Each structure stands twice: as C-alpha cells, then as structure tokens.
Structure 1
Amino acid sequence: MKKVKGFLFSGVHAGLKRKRKDVGLIYSLSEASSFAVFTKNKFKGAHIPVSKEHLKSGTSRAIIVNSANANTLNGEKGIKDAMRMTEITAKLLKLNKEDVLVASTGVIGVPLPMKKIEKGIKLAVSSLTKNGTSDFEEAIMTTDKVKKEASTYFRYKGNEIRILGMAKGSGMIEPNMATMLAFIVTDARIELDVLRRMLKFCVNRTFNRISVDGCMSTNDSVFIMANGRSGSPRIDRGKSFYMFRDALLEICKDLSFQIVKDGEGATKVIRIIVKNAESESFGKDVARRVANSNLVKTAIYGEDPNFGRIIAAIGTLSDKVREDIDVSVGEVIIIKNGRVVEFDRKRAKEKLKKDTVEIIIDLKDGNKEVEFLTSDLTEEYVVINSRYTT
C-alpha cells in the first residue's frame, strides 16, 4: 500500500477493552478539506452533533476515535465528553478544538470513562506515525474479526493521487448506513463542494446498499479528509472529477464488501442484483426486501434451494411489482415470467455453496440496475448478540 502524503495515524490501548486497542487518531500535517455523512437514526451518538458543528468550516486536521463505548443516550454529559475529546486532542496537537472531529462506537447507554479516554488520547498523540494504519484499524474494531482497509491511486497531470479507506463494521448493518465507521483520507486537492458531492454519491451506492441484520445504528459515520499534499492541480468539475469519483467509489465498494463479509456470524456474502427497475430507489427497495428476509438468509446459509422465499420477499411490495418478473441464482433461472420453472437443483445447490451467492432479479419495468449486499444468517449471530454486553 502506498502512503497517502501528509497523514499520520495511531491506535493504542487505553483500557476501554480488556486487551485490544481502543483509541485511534488520524492527523493531517496540513489543513484538509473535510466532510462527513451520518446515520439517519433519530437517536444519534454524541459525536455526531459535535463533529457536524466542527465541520461547518469545511476543514479539519484530526479525527479522534474510541471503540467499546458508543457515547449514545448519555444526554448533555455525552455531548460534553465528545467535545472534551476534541479539546484534549487539540491542545496536545496545538490546534483549535474546531480542527478536531470525533467518533465513537460500541455499547450504547454507558458514559465514557473520561480518565481512560484522556490517557488514551495522550498516548495516541505520542504514537502518531505514517505507518500507524494497522494500529488505527484495530483501535476502531468492536465485534469485527478482521481489520478493513482499501487503497488506490491514479495519476493526474503528472502527479500521483492516493486514497486510503479504513472502516469497522460487523453487526447492526442496515441502510442508512450500517453500524459502521469509515475514514477516508486522500492527498488530492479538492474543492469542498466537489468533495461533498462525491462522498454523497459514493455512499449512496455502497454503504447505503448493504445490510447484515436490518438494524440501523445510532453512530454510523463516514468521514473524508483531503489535504492537497499530492501536488496535483485542484480537482474540479472536469475530467478530474470523474477520475477521483471512480477511485473513491472503488474504495467505498471494497470497504462495503469487507463489512458484509465480516458480518457477525456470516459465512457467505449475498449479492443481489436488481435489473430493469423503473428507478434506482425502487430497485433498492426490492433488493432490501430480499436482503432483510431472515427466511432467505437462513436458506442461503443452509445451502437450501428453497427459492420461493425470494419471490415471497419481493411480493411484499404488492402491486408495485409486475407479475412476470424473472429470478435466477447465478446462471440458474428459477423463476421465469413470474412462474417457477424446472431447474437443475444440484447445479443450483452448487451455486449456494460459493462464498459469494448471486441473486439476480429482472423487474422488466425500466432500465435502472442496482446492486445490494447482504450476508447469510447463522447461529453464531444469535450467540454474539445475546452476549454483547456481558
């Protein structure tokens, strides 16, 4: 992985978890255009209003993150603690508190242990390094089994522009967005308005099209920082716009896939492709009905070709769906013109044995195509979520 110029990272153990790292820090050596999108859940984590306020300037220098505690439903104390995290970080880095963004993830309804947090922030600042991405990725994990990272680069007018994305997320995954935090940094030079448009476009086509369990989180956040240190000309609305947007979309797609693959208890990724929808919005609605059907998810886990469950899930949209749709699993057509057809069950079962199972739905009602990711549902998911706080 090529290093994104002008960014330092760290991840440390502050005692919020028994052993693993739990406080992470991203620091830009210069001012960075910054933007973020957040959960639509009514009950938001305290870091969200604080970060929103600090993002009003359109720039930032650092993001301080803790795991193991969501700092949600803690009232005014939660807001003050989130603000205090930015103040401590700013003082140690010799910044204004408005230059620091904040994020939290973990158990809901428990006050932040601020003595441990302060100790962790001090250690995180002293541990900053350009090679600290792996430590940062560990520090933001909750029930994740693996670290999640994606990177890419492209050349623009003789300069190499690099993008790095890091994320956490495993359970409580459902648009909008998922129980996830994602942090994207780039050394590109980009106008803030362009950066906003790009991130919203990419999030709507990736993080907002994944589901593990249909449960929307209180703390979902996707941050992006662009510090301009690549030396390239400013990315505007011309050819460079699409070059950067495509690269950013690649990062978001990669991280989204990794989140679903690491879904709590998951053994398979289910890729749902809805073709010929009247609109992207309706195509996403259809895909989500299938993605959030526990009957579909358990059938895929059991590699059981009980495909009536797919059509039943689609049918919950009632008169909005044509009766002559087609459905296939991989290349195996199972529903043709709204009727079950004779299919090779052995071949279909072989498709279900794959790590990634494709369900293709042709609505025959337009020209829009939507891809949506989900995972199977297993006994391990129940075990993990029945013991989460104990």
Structure 2
Amino acid sequence: MAVNLSTPNPADLRPVTGVRLGVAEAGIRKANRRDLTLIELAPGSRVAGVFTRNRFCAAPVQVCREHLAEGDIRALVINTGVANAGTGEQGVVDALQTCAAVGRLLGVGAQQVLPFSTGVILEPLPVERLIAALPAAQANLRGDGWFDAAHAIMTTDTVAKAVSRTVEVGGKTVTITGIGKGAGMIKPNMATMLGFVACDAALSQDLLNALVREAADLSFNSITVDGDTSTNDSFILIATGKAGHAEIAEPVGADWAALREAVIDVAVRLAQAIVRDGEGATKFMSIVVQGGTDREECRKVAYAVAHSPLVKTAFFASDPNLGRILAAIGYAGIDDLDVSRLKVWLGNPDESVLVAEHGGRAASYREEAGARIMAQSELTVRIDLARGQAAATVWTCDFSYDYVKINADYRS
C-alpha cells in the first residue's frame, strides 16, 4: 500500500499542446496488460534528458543518448516488462529496430525516436511483439492520454504517478504535465525509474538542458528506496513551444522563475510519489541535513541515513532505536565531523523531539516520545551538522516484510 498516495484523477491531468500519447497491449511479458506507450511530439519540440550512471546501462539508454545528441526528437516509445539491459549487441539492434518501426509509422527518421524500456534485466526484448502493437498505440494517440500512459509504464508500482501544473508565462498559460514510474531499485544517479515531463513553453535548447539537470538533481536524484541504481533510469523534459509566448533563452526574469519553479515542482512530486510507492513501504521519511559546509556534504550524510537498512527497519517497526541514525551519520565520510556539536531531531516541523546533542542522547529525550512520532506514516529526521550554512533533503521510505516478498517473487 502506497503511503498517502492515490491514483491521480484523470480530470486533473491537463493536455500539453503539441504532445499526443497512445498505449497498447503488446504482450511484452504478461498478457492482457497495457505495456506499450507511444508519445508523438509536434515539429519544433525540444527535448533534453538525463540518464543512469550505471556502467551496465541498458541498450535503450545508449540509443537515447546518441539520438538526443542529434536533436530534433519527434517521438518516444516506452515498453514495460523487459528492460532490454544486459542484452549485448542484440539489445542495441532491437532498440534501433523499434525506433525504425516508430519512424516508419509516424513519418519521421529513426534517429528522431527515443526508446525506453523497464522491467526484468538480462532477458531479450520481444521486439516482434512490440513492433506489432505499435499501430494500435498510434491509433490511440490523443492529447489527454496521460492517465493511460501513466498506467502503461508501471512495473511493480501499485499506483500510477502523474502530475499537472499551469503557470503564466509572457501572458500565456503554460501547461506542465508529467508521468513517472518506479517503486524499487531506487537510488540517486537516477533510480529504476522513468520520468517524462512535458510543457508547451518555448525554451532554448541550452536552457532546457540546464533545467532538466537541475530538476533531476532536486527530485529524482534526491530519493532512495533501497540503494540500488538501475540500468535503465531516464528523465526526459520536453518543451513544445506551442503556448504562444516569446522564447525564453536566458535564466533571468519573472517568467523564467515561475516556469522553473513549476517544472521542478512537478518533478519533485513525481519523485516523492515513487518513494511513497516504494515496494512494501509503510512510512515516508524526509531526511533533512543542515549546517553543512556545502550541499554535497549534506547529501552524503542524508544518504547514509536514508540507505541504512537498520534505520529503515527500525522505522518500519516504529522502534526508537535511534542510535542507528548516529551510527549512519558517523560513517557518512566526513572525517573532521565534530559530533559534540551535532544535533538530531525526530518529527515533523510542528512536532519534533530533540534526540541527540553534545555527542550523545539529549537530556530531554524520552523514548516514548520517539515511539509516538515513529508510529506516524510521514515524519522527518532533521540533522544539524553545525559546520556551515548548506542544507539538503533526501526522501526515502522504510523496509517492510513485503519488500522482500515483492523482490523475491519479481519474475514470477
């Protein structure tokens, strides 16, 4: 059961001018389920992306990088069920064949298509079944296809993930809509997640490239479920330029600030939805680290806490065994950390308990107060390093019995 996350209302998902989406049943891994998504982009759309840093990156990731470098992307094709990773040269051939088939169908070049896959690693992509289902996906193309697409890219997700926002830019209404998938094998440097966010704003390619990196850093690269970095992670940002305002080419002014904030907000909400839907999750946790010398130092500490299986299992059990948090901070890799100055609080901003200070347990701390807060479904761990002004936040979830069950039975 996802933590305070429900299926999005289709009426809340706004079409983005210049984007059409269609889904189909291709039988990639299981019969009678939507597992193929086709996204068509209007001419003149600009696309940017960031991808996994896993050296064993999947064939579609390799092809996406090459095609993005050439520019002028007109379509995306996404399959679930099989990741097309660990598939060698044949995997690249299959990804390229998929792009060629989409190109023929839509009347664009194969290099103008970006392929994406998610699912089981080390299994060949059934490319014939995928290609055979493309005409059905094309027939379903429509501007309001976001809800169906959010479902068609799911694997172990229990809830579809989709978000829309609107913002005024240059006197015009700009729509931003995004979908994402992911529930396990989630760690920064992308996770086993796919994220697709489109807007009808007009942005220069350089600005779009910068925005996708910043949005990823503040969202998908600030989450973890289990510390595993996937082979297929991809986050794509699309700007169709169809809203009707003048192109924004520089990161200055109120219009840019409003658009930037809205795009990042959509990415953050999708990223948090992935954590809320973490495999077997019962708790949503924000690890807030402040007082660092720089942001990277704060992230290092936050991830040490967020990745710790001992911390995550304690939160699942609502067991205030909070020395585990101190242990994780201690091995985060800050060699000159003065633990006597560090403070740790447990709880949300409106109800927090000081747990540790002066190098040990806070005199005011009572275990029953910690247990009461840990029983909540959403909570915050706040850590002050007392070393500087930098801060960072990482979102994570607990480890439950179901996490093991889900991953033990993943291929069945």
What is the TM-score when the length of structure 1 is the normalising length?
Answer: 0.98
CA–CA distance in structure 2, aligned partners of residues 78 and 133 of structure 1: 28
Residue 339 of structure 1, aligned match among 354, 360, 364:
360
Q: 2:298 aligns with which of 283, 294, 301?
A: 283
Residue 8 (structure 1) aligned to one of 6, 10, 20: 20
Partner of residue 41, structure 2: 28
User: Cα deviation per residue 1:159-195 (whole Å; 9 max; x = unaligned)?
Assistant: 0111111000000000111110001111011000000
Deviation at 1:374, TM superposition (A): 0.7
TM superposition shift of 1:318 = 5.6
Distance, in Å, in 2 between the alignment partners of 1:19 and 1:340 is 55
C-alpha separation between the residues in 2 aligned to 1:75 and 1:57? 23
> Residues 304, 137 of structure 1: CA spacing in aligned structure 2 closer, same or farther, 3 A cutoff?
same
Q: Is the 8 A contact 1:92 1:122 kept in 2?
A: yes
Aligned to 1:263: 278
The residue aligned with 2:90 is 77
Q: Within 2, Cα distance between the matches of 1:371 and 1:194?
A: 25
Contact 2:169 2:259 in 1 (8 A): no
Q: 1:38 aligns with which of 47, 51, 55?
A: 51
Residue 130 (structure 2) pairs with residue 130 (structure 1): no
Structure 2 match to 1:62: 75
> CA offset at residue 141 of structure 1?
0.5
Q: Which ranges in structure 2 are unaligned for 5 or more consecutive residues?
A: 1-11
Q: 2:376 aligns with which of 350, 354, 376?
A: 354
> Is 2:283 the counterpart of 1:294?
no
Give percent identity, aligned residues only. 36
Q: 2:235 aligns with which of 202, 208, 222?
A: 222
- Among 118, 122, 125, the alignment partner of 1:112 is 125
Task: Write the mapping of 1:188-203 to structure 2, written as runs, cut at 5 A.
Answer: 188-203=201-216
- Assess if the C-alpha contact under 8 Å between 1:107 and 1:389 holds in 2: yes
Aligned 8 A contact 2:102 2:113 in 1: yes
Tell me the equivalent position of 1:325.
342
Contact 1:11 1:138 in 2 (8 A): no
Aligned residue-pair number: 390
Bigger drift between 366-375 and 310-319 goes to 310-319
Aligned equivalents of 2:100 and 2:358: distance in 1? 61
For residue 177 of structure 2, what is the aligned residue in structure 1? 164
**Offset from partner CA, 1:182-224 (integer Å, 9 cap, x none):** 0111101100000011111111111111100000100000011
Between the aligned partners of 1:55 and 1:318, the Cα distance in structure 2 is: 38
Give the alignment's Cα RMSD to 1 decimal. 1.1
The amino acid across from 1:321 in the alignment is L
Structure 1 residue 86 displacement after superposition: 0.8
Counterpart of 1:314 in structure 2 is 329
- 1:226-269: per-residue Cα shift (whole Å, max 9, x none)? 11010011122221322221111101110111000000010111
Q: 1:380 corresponds to which residue?
A: 402
Question: 2:83, 2:232 within 8 Å by CA — same for their partners in 1?
Answer: yes
**Deviation digits for residues 330-370 of structure 1, max 9, x if unmatched?**
21000012220231333322211222110000000010110
1-structure distance, mates of 2:32, 2:319 = 40
The answer as to 2:275 corresponding to 1:254 is: no
Q: Which amino acid aligns with 2:355?
A: I
Larger mean CA deviation between 159-168 and 122-131 belongs to 122-131
Q: How far apart are the structure 2 equivalents of 1:198 and 1:265?
A: 32
Confirm or deny: 8 A CA contact 1:11 1:137 kept in the other structure: no
2:230 and 2:157 map into 1 onto residues whose CA distance is: 15
The question of whether the paired residues in 2 share the 8 Å contact of 1:58 and 1:192 is answered with no
Please give the per-residue CA displacement for 1:21-70, whole angstroms capped at 9, x wherever unaligned: 10011111323111110000010110011111111133311100000000
Q: Which runs of 4+ in 1 moved over 6 A?
A: none
Partner-residue secondary structure (3-state), 2:46: strand
Letter in 1 for 2:221: N
Q: Deviations over 1:286-343 (max 9, x none)?
A: 0000001001000000001111000011011362422120001021000012220231
Between 204-213 and 344-353, report the one with greater CA deviation: 344-353
* 1:139 alignment partner in structure 2: 152
Residue 365 of structure 1 is matched in structure 2 by 387
| 5+ long unaligned stretches in structure 1 | none
When normalised by structure 2's length, the TM-score is 0.93
